[in-house]
Amino acid sequence: MSTVHATRSAGTRVFDVAAIRREFPILSRTVNGRPLVYLDNAATSQKPRAVIDALRAYYEEINANIHRGVHWLSQRATDKYEAARESARRFINAGSVEEIVFVRGTTEAINLVAQTYGRTRINEGDEIVISHLEHHSNIVPWQMLCAERKATLRVVPINDAGEFQFDAYANLLNERTRLVAVSHVSNALGSINPVREIIALARSRGIPVLLDGAQAVPHLKVDVRDLGADFYTFSGHKMYGPTGIGVLYGRTEWLEALPPWQGGGDMILSVSFDGTTYNKPPFKFEAGTPNIEGGIGLGAAIEWIEGVGLDNVAAHEHELLEYGTRALRKIEGLNLIGTARQKAGVLSFTLDAIHPHDIGTILDQAGIAIRTGHHCAQPVMDRFNVPATARASLAVYNTTADIDALVEGLDQVVRMFR
């Protein structure tokens, strides 16, 4: 296996999955005496050396609180943290760093919008549109908001392939619709939603759109301005970065118009007992000492992905998805759940008469990590009339050998239950 580090014009390396794997220390470990086969990337991805080193370097070299110290360390930490914000801006092509709010993750980003936009713009009788594909994090905040504001949640159906039904969506929009909140890529099934068209239609009717991009940004190039999204949300840990850090992108006009969320330090310009003036975006939404190491780690993850090249990531994962789909379809009694024509690297399935939980335990003994359960998307499970599925989800470091190991493991499951 040759290690190739020739550079391309775009500054990305020639794609070499073996070299990429060597950058992930955890991938060389064994689990239950077998080499780890990690196929639970939609839950969280593993971290490359570059990200782990960035976290260590932060604590070993520049640890300090940010945004207010005049001392050298504080300035270095602030610079590094704010450089990560610029990396995040570049990553999704936002217009300015003021549009990048650091949050704990996608869940917090959605809750932030639900509480700021929701509490000031949603009133009795108004409607919010989501889809049947959503993760609980893009369902429950809106249910809570609707209960509080006496608004109604409308759900766009999906078909048997797990595809967003656009005509039904168009019919759901009306003069009471105040927000559309949909996933860019489904976590349970991998379906890629037609978000450009979803946004174009909503915005032509003056309705803002929030996209849950948690499962999109690790796998495909996202350009929020090209999409025209009002809000875009994602998490660091599913894209090779640390847990506890994520991004809320909001168009400048929204972030300026919306009220602050949590109150505290950093989100103010001045405080007195007569009144307080708030900081400008994004700081207006970032009360308290933030997750500094997380921000810096996210910045390192973004730079790492840019080095590999998202086009390379997408092409590699697409090839693996096709390989895996063909391989799984050959297994007798296996039902793929989610067969959308536009799909990211998720293989969700059931095996006749074998519960996903049993599949997961048997695979685990072979060192293979997959997710079993409802994937925080119970409405999707109900739609397909299953209590749970087994889900293998791909990342850039997976190989056809990982898929082969999965297939071999599933053969063993079937033999065991025969």
Partner 1 sequence: MNDLRELYQEFILDHYKKPRNYHAMPDATAHADGYNPLCGDKVKVHLKVADGIVTDVAFEGSGCAISTASASTMTEALKGKPLAEVRALFEAFHEMLTSPEPTVDPASLGKLAVFGGVREFPVRVKCATLAWHTMKAALDNSNNPVSTE
- Interaction site with partner 1 (CB under 8 A): 353-358, 361-362, 365, 372-374, 378, 381, 387-388, 416-417
Assign residue 117 a region (left: φ > 0; alpha: ψ between -120 and 50; beta: otherwise): alpha
Distance CA 129, CA 131 (A): 7
Least distance (Å) between residue 205 CB and partner 1: 38
From 376, 378, 386, 417, the catalytic residue: 376
Residue 55, CA atoms < 13 Å, CB-side half-sphere: 16
Neighbouring CB atoms inside 10 A of 11's CB total 9
> Which is it for the CA torsion 21, 23, 28, 29, positive or negative?
negative
Q: Which is nearer to partner 1, 68 or 357 (CB)?
A: 357
Q: State residue 319 phi and psi, 5-degree precision.
A: -60, -45
Q: Which residue in the block uniquely carries the two structure tokens 């392939």?
A: 161
Minimum CB separation from partner 1 for residue 31, in Å?
13
Between residues 125 and 387, which has the closer beta carbon with respect to partner 1? 387
Note if 376 is an active site residue: yes
- Give min distance, CB of 389 to partner 1, in A: 10
What is the smallest separation between the CB atom of 102 and partner 1, expressed in angstroms?
Answer: 31
Write the CB contacts of 153 (distance below 8 Å, at least 6 apart in sequence).
127, 128, 130, 139, 142, 143, 146
> What CA–CA distance (Å, rounded) separates 131 from 401?
35
Nearer to partner 1, 342 or 365 (CB): 365
* Distance of closest approach, residue 358 Cβ to partner 1, in angstroms: 5
In sign, the C-alpha dihedral spanning 263, 100, 63, 50 is: positive
Structure tokens of 221? 């190039």
Taking the C-alpha atoms of residue 240 and residue 405, their distance in angstroms, rounded to an integer, is 23
- Is there a contact between 121 and 146 (Cβ–Cβ < 8 Å)? no
Residue with Cβ nearer partner 1 (93 or 378): 378
Place of tokens 């749970």: 388
**C-alpha torsion 109→111→113→118, nearest 10:** 170
User: Minimal distance in Å, beta carbon 409 to partner 1?
Assistant: 11
Q: Which is nearer to partner 1, 18 or 416 (CB)?
A: 416
CA atoms of 311 and 318, how far apart (whole Å): 10
Closer CB to partner 1, 15 or 417, in the complex: 417
- Tell me how far apart the alpha carbons of residues 137 and 133 are, in angstroms, rounded to a whole number: 11
Give the active site residues.
376
